[in-house]
Amino acid sequence: MMVTRLKDETRIETTTKPVLRPVPGGAHIAVRNLSHTYRKADGRVLDALDFEIQPGAVVALLGRSGCGKSSLLHMLAGLTHPTEGEVIINGNVVRGPSPKWVMMFQAPSLFPWMSVAKNAALGLKFNRRTGEIAKRIPEILDLVDLGPFADRNAQELSGGQQQRVALARSLAPSPEMLLLDEPFSALDAFTRRSLQQDVRRIAKDLGLTLVIVTHDVSEAVIMADRVLVLDANPGRIADDTTISLENDERNASAERFQSEQARLMQIYTDVAHGDAAAPLS
């Protein structure tokens, strides 16, 4: 009797496919009256920003170089404190970095003395969750198509593969929100496109909130549900627009994609010209 039951249980266990634990809803972000001035710079970088991001949304921050996109993202991640105002995630004021909101940078910055799997496991290690590593890391590496590379040294991978490791590293602690600062800009067009689509798909599958900084209009159209267009000097939200495309329309050959891209490009250039016309303070 006992023996058969044990057997049954074992069989069930081995046939159950590992499923990634989805984050229900992802994080809700509220930015309240946020302004920032760097000590060394003159003038405000960001000026009285006020917006909300709904759980599970993919939002792009679009703006030309120097308008304060990275600064804003660092504040959402708790890596920089705004001089005024606050960032509120799920009802709590952000006071520092947390594995619940992970930022991904332009360079993958993997640790070259570690294997791919060790790099991906860092977030779990730093948060006393080493017990989960053995199960979670293979799953997460499969998710980013790097399963066979687990034991390779991080330096032996291509730029695109390294950025996938960085993505796995960010996803491993099951964050509720992922913040991406132009993470694909160093990659070739083909690799960039496939990663853009993969990251959007993964974020949607896991239900995470995704905020992506970019100055590439087509990237915003491929990935985002909503685009915040930023003004420069000082950084303000000049436009807040929705990208209403189905997932299968999010590729450059779709007709609706092209019209959305043209529309966003128009908004972006209008904002940029507005900047140029404004007197430099």
Ligand X SMILES: Nc1ncnc2c1ncn2[C@@H]1O[C@H](COP(=O)(O)OP(=O)(O)OP(=O)(O)O)[C@@H](O)[C@H]1O
Tokens (6 digits) for 83: 């001089």
By C-beta, is 98 or 106 nearer to ligand X? 106
Q: Is 165 in the site for ligand X (CB under 6 A)?
A: no
Query: Using CB under 6 A, which of 26, 68, 78, 173 touches ligand X?
Result: 68
**Do the beta carbons of residue 38 and residue 14 sit within 8 Å?**
no
Q: Is 65 in the site for ligand X (CB under 6 A)?
A: yes
Binding partner selected for residue 156 from ligand X, Mg ion, other proteins, none, CB under the kind-specific 5 to 8 Å limit: other proteins
* Stretch near ligand X under the rule CB under 6 A, chosen from 12-20, 34-42, 107-115, 263-271: 34-42
Cβ at position 278, least distance to ligand X in Å: 15
**Do the beta carbons of residue 45 and residue 68 sit within 8 Å?**
yes
**Do the beta carbons of residue 78 and residue 102 sit within 8 Å?**
no
By C-beta, is 17 or 40 nearer to ligand X? 40
CA distance 228 to 215: 11
Is the four-CA dihedral 170, 175, 181, 184 of positive or negative sign? positive
Binding-site ranges for Mg ion (CB under 5 A) = 70
CA terminus-to-terminus distance, the chain: 83
**Do the beta carbons of residue 73 and residue 179 sit within 8 Å?**
yes
Binding partner selected for residue 37 from Mg ion, other proteins, ligand X, none, CB under the kind-specific 5 to 8 Å limit: none
Q: Is 215 in the site for ligand X (CB under 6 A)?
A: yes
- Sites of contact with ligand X (CB under 6 A): 38, 40-41, 45, 63, 65-71, 215
